Amino acid sequence: MGEKNDFMREAIRLSVENIDDCGGPFGAVIVKDGKIVSRGVNRVTASNDPTAHAEINAIRAAAQVLGTFDLSGCEIYTSCEPCPMCLGASYWARIDKIYYGNTKDDACKAGFDDSFIYDELAKQKSFRQLVCEQVLREEALDAFSRWAENEDKIK
């Protein structure tokens, strides 16, 4: 059984190692029952995937290893405070706790500034830079109606 500092050191090690492998300086590990079940590093530029953050990659790997989309009972150790996307993914995955090394302010000073996203989320939709327009709501509701009626769904 590992300790908090050991898990965080592994996330930090991954973040440093990833720099030499054409990735961003971010690493994460997911732990369940005192054991690492997955690791992830930032592969945004290496894979041309803006969602390939260390936490997202670790969550995807943990879900595969554990055979479930529900990561209750897991903790994530990440070299940096999660961005809004990774924080949201951690909630969706039902991760119990997040441990992080660097802060979002540290990330900003290093050139990874997510503050505009936090600022945008706090605004009313009509004042956001990214325009969102609702189209064909009534037709789109059909999928939710069918879902609600489906007795075989996985909740």
Q: Is the pTM of this model over 0.75?
A: yes
Using CA atoms, how far apart are residues 88 and 67, in angstroms rounded to an integer? 21
| Model pLDDT for residues 88-134, shown as the tens digit of each residue | 999 999 999 999 999 999 999 999 999 999 999 999 999 999 988 88
Of 3, 55, 81, 120, catalytic:
55
CB atoms within 10 A of CB 77: 29
Residue 151 has pLDDT above 90, yes or no: no
58 burial level (CB within 10 Å; 0-12, 13-18, 19+): buried
Q: Is 32 left (phi over 0), alpha (psi -120 to 50) or beta?
A: beta
Any catalytic annotation for residue 17? no
Beta bridge partners of 28: 40, 78
**If pLDDT is split at 50, 70 and 90, which confidence band does 2 have?**
low
- Residue 111 backbone phi and psi in degrees, to 5: 105, 10
Q: pLDDT at position 143, please?
A: 93
pLDDT, residue 152, reads: 83
pLDDT above 70 as % of the chain: 99
pLDDT above 80 for 87: yes
Find where tokens 């930090």 sit. 12
